[in-house]
Structure 1
């Protein structure tokens, strides 16, 4: 594959290579130094007045290029464009607006010459080969030449961007072509008018037309800026309305990241949340590293970039500082970074990091907009987190952190509905600590609580993520096993029993405290027809099967168990 640098120099070489044959073909033209310098200055002015739409820049200098061809000739026009590009790039370098100035000059010069001389050559060839008697034919010929210039110019540019940023930029090429074409619709009529005024009334009147054109361009740029500001403010308003309508943490973060895309350009974006002294990637886009979600930011690690979250910050030219390139959230092609913290009541709860492969792309306006968004997002995220914590407390056991009795029954209802719909099966294990009252009386309730908490930890480690584990009540626990047959549940419960039996769950003085458990198993729809029936039969299997047979056992419910219903 051709590299970005090779492509740049190839286009430059082809452009300059066409320049000399075109001198022989078109001649040097007639240059009036005074008029030429005035035209050059106006072309520079128009090239600096770029229109920025959706993170793309569109030059408005085609009006000068078009009119210059008919006033000075193709070769002087090409030379004028080269000088204009060179002067503009020097200006950008002084202002530090972009990097790799030499490569840009080479590419832009070659790009223009290739597009210009191909279009001019096609126009000259067709016009010299055919007899044109009607003005309509001239209009059609010029339209074709302009279209060739337009398409070739954009094709070369899109290839340049694709190679430079190493990503597909052709996805929105139709949208970009339409936006660029709109600038031509404005430039061409003024260019034609300029040529007519020059031929009929002289150079001063042509300058008057160009002055009007520059004024129109300036007004159009103001209109685009106002439209862009309106879009950004609308995005902020829509986010504030949408984000306050939900208390779901994941949805809040998704809305925030989507809103960022509407107001600030980026190639990678990440929303971090603060957890136990770490900033953890919660939701992100644009990162190719599959392990990015594991790259947590710690305050004591300089390479993590945690210190950047103290206040809103813009960092340009970061690719020139190896220390910044080592930051976890910087990819190899990152050139600009913007970081804003998520703060509510002076408490850091997260942050937003966006990066771009383009240099000097972020400004104070971007930082202000993102800071406003971050302040709203921080309040919404904090409210959602508080709601989530409250909701978890409502379904959690305060001692063990497991699900409580109420949630276990709601999960049993859900599993039963799923089993009825899909024809599936699930099993229920009820576990009871043997002689737990004796441990409480002998060692005290604090030791008893320690036993229950450590038992809960063992149970967590021995079930699947999709299983539901909860404290049924007192010293009883329940495990719901979706898709597990009774005999499989028997094996799981027996494995847990052996682990519990051999693991000390508390320590009093120098003495380790060991316990045993009894467990009963029942399955739906094998053993029961309702939730109450399922719980009752698992409970009976535990009480009358395991407890009455000496405890420290696992018993599966059987229809012929000798118990009273």
Structure 2
């Protein structure tokens, strides 16, 4: 639930509702009940206008103001206040059932002082009660509309401010523009309805309003279709890429950009689990702080985001400054007032997080949680498929015990590197390594100790070679290292460095300490051999010869 300043908010809401009800009670004797049928017809159209109101990110499109203005011009301020208030109460309360009772009562009640206050200014500047459509009343009527707009926005702004939704007007000036656009449409319609009533009949005026209701209905239907189309497009993109060649950055970049079409957020970032770093790493980010977010990580179980990743449930935070879940959190949490965190779950594993943030409070809704959780499942599945594919590809080319490449893949790569060296007239060297007395290690300390030694030697080799070098487990206790652009002198230095690095390592098996040494053999293309098989033959022959000096 949103945090509010409870006492000021409650007092303000009750005062406005009380003021509206009191003014209605006070002005009831001024209603001309002989016009009850006509007023009921105007009320019915006002209810339909509120019921079919089209909500957009820029505001609300409704013909309710046109009905109010026509009622004011035809019948006066008191009937206009009553019709406007009852239309809002019935249209957004009984019929629509889309708002909480407190909000519905407030919105309906505030129309009474708004209409009467605007009428007070209208009369004050010389507006006449008869012949309101006369040219002499043009300036007072313009002022009436302006004051009505101002008072309406003031009441709503104060209401939102006390609910901690001050961002509605402070950070969303486009909403003011949307309301203004609605007035530009409704004002001419209301004036024309009043003119038709005065010079023809009320029924012709109401017939004019029917197209407005039809436009609202069609536009509302169109917006729902657009939203559904965006949701389906996201699902389609996820499903299409599940069966294709996937680029994770591109995939999740599309996910964020399409999400922004559905949810208006300030910054968004997607974290994916990294086996190498053992944490969630930012894969892609969108927004003003995108560059900062791309360098961020999330540790499982640490902080609010880490706890969400550990628990696996989506979380919506309306105000990070007051929500106990985020209190005391440092870092990126401090950038935002609103947070929406969606775990990306594949089967039962959390493989990532989507984090949406905004500096405004109360931006996200439960509907966003539902939609993005569903869509997140598709993209989490895509990521899981990519990760599984990478693991399978890696398993095919690597030795399971040591993590080095297996001989089959090593030979395939080595043939290509050798051919390149031939074309460029470069040296390429092969270093073979063999663990001395490895069989005795297995016999004395057991196979587990032997496996530990093999993995340890492989780790030493990985730490001593360059990124462009190719290391593999040749078989049993033998290893191979291919050194591109390396002549015999440099290759000997590498072999010596590998022997010394292995000799400095100590492996523990229970209470025993195992010292390991390796012998090496090397061959260089084209000095020693012209093809790969010949290089292996020479290097292995040197490896199996007399032990080298240590």
Give the TM-score category using the shorter length: 0.5 to 0.7
2: distance between equivalents of 1:424 and 1:70?
Answer: 91
CA deviation after TM superposition for structure 1 residue 247, in Å: 6.9
Alignment correspondent of 2:396: 394
1: distance between equivalents of 2:269 and 2:207?
Answer: 47
Instruction: For residues 417-445 of structure 1, give each alpha carbon's deviation from its aligned partner in whole angstroms, at most 9, with x where no partner exists.
Output: 65567776654322222343454456554
Q: Which deviates more from structure 2 when the two are superposed, residues 212-221 or residues 463-472? A: 212-221
Alignment correspondent of 1:229: 228
SS of residue matched to 2:326: helix
Alignment correspondent of 1:355: 357
Alignment correspondent of 2:547: 550
Q: Which of 145, 165, 187 in structure 2 is aligned with 1:77?
A: 145
Alignment correspondent of 1:202: 198
CA deviation after TM superposition for structure 1 residue 297, in Å: 2.2
Q: Which deviates more from structure 2 when the two are superposed, residues 57-66 or residues 503-512? A: 57-66
Kindly indicate whether the alpha-carbon contact (under 8 Å) linking 1:518 and 1:552 is maintained by their aligned counterparts in 2. no
SS of residue matched to 2:506: coil
Q: Structure 2 stretches of 5 or more lacking a match?
A: 1-30, 33-41, 74-136
Instruction: Specify whether residues 199 and 261 from structure 1 end up closer, same or farther in structure 2 by C-alpha distance, changes over 3 A only.
Output: closer
Instruction: For residues 446-494 of structure 1, give each alpha carbon's deviation from its aligned partner in whole angstroms, at most 9, with x where no partner exists.
Output: 4433321211111122223443321011222122334545544433332
Alignment correspondent of 1:156: none
1: distance between equivalents of 2:443 and 2:69?
Answer: 99
Instruction: Specify whether residues 251 and 289 from structure 1 end up closer, same or farther in structure 2 by C-alpha distance, changes over 3 A only.
Output: closer
1: distance between equivalents of 2:275 and 2:495?
Answer: 34
Instruction: Specify whether residues 224 and 485 from structure 1 end up closer, same or farther in structure 2 by C-alpha distance, changes over 3 A only.
Output: farther
2: distance between equivalents of 1:423 and 1:228?
Answer: 62
Q: What pairs with 1:283-294 in structure 2 (closer than 5 Å)?
A: 283-286=283-286, 287-288=289-290, 290=292, 293=295
Alignment correspondent of 1:4: none
SS of residue matched to 2:345: strand
SS of residue matched to 1:403: coil
CA deviation after TM superposition for structure 1 residue 338, in Å: 1.9
SS of residue matched to 2:402: coil
Between the two proteins, the alignment pairs up a number of residues equal to 438
Alignment correspondent of 2:154: 86
Alignment correspondent of 2:532: 534
Alignment correspondent of 2:515: 513
SS of residue matched to 1:360: coil
Q: What pairs with 1:136-155 in structure 2 (closer than 5 Å)?
A: none
1: distance between equivalents of 2:305 and 2:385?
Answer: 31
Instruction: Specify whether residues 489 and 409 from structure 1 end up closer, same or farther in structure 2 by C-alpha distance, changes over 3 A only.
Output: same
Q: Which deviates more from structure 2 when the two are superposed, residues 80-89 or residues 266-275? A: 266-275
Alignment correspondent of 2:165: 98
Q: CA RMSD in A?
A: 4.7
Kindly indicate whether the alpha-carbon contact (under 8 Å) linking 1:249 and 1:388 is maintained by their aligned counterparts in 2. no
Alignment correspondent of 1:305: 307
Q: Does 1:456 align with 2:458?
A: yes
Kindly indicate whether the alpha-carbon contact (under 8 Å) linking 1:427 and 1:489 is maintained by their aligned counterparts in 2. yes
Alignment correspondent of 1:496: 498
With the length of structure 2 as denominator, give the TM-score of the two structures. Answer: 0.64
CA deviation after TM superposition for structure 1 residue 370, in Å: 1.3
2: distance between equivalents of 1:269 and 1:283?
Answer: 8
SS of residue matched to 1:519: strand
Instruction: Specify whether residues 265 and 93 from structure 1 end up closer, same or farther in structure 2 by C-alpha distance, changes over 3 A only.
Output: same
Instruction: Specify whether residues 245 and 474 from structure 1 end up closer, same or farther in structure 2 by C-alpha distance, changes over 3 A only.
Output: same
Alignment correspondent of 1:220: 219
2: distance between equivalents of 1:302 and 1:197?
Answer: 56
2: distance between equivalents of 1:252 and 1:81?
Answer: 45
Alignment correspondent of 2:280: 280
Kindly indicate whether the alpha-carbon contact (under 8 Å) linking 2:272 and 2:283 is maintained by their aligned counterparts in 1. yes
Q: Structure 1 stretches of 5 or more lacking a match?
A: 1-32, 113-152, 154-179, 554-565
Kindly indicate whether the alpha-carbon contact (under 8 Å) linking 2:508 and 2:514 is maintained by their aligned counterparts in 1. yes
2: distance between equivalents of 1:50 and 1:89?
Answer: 20
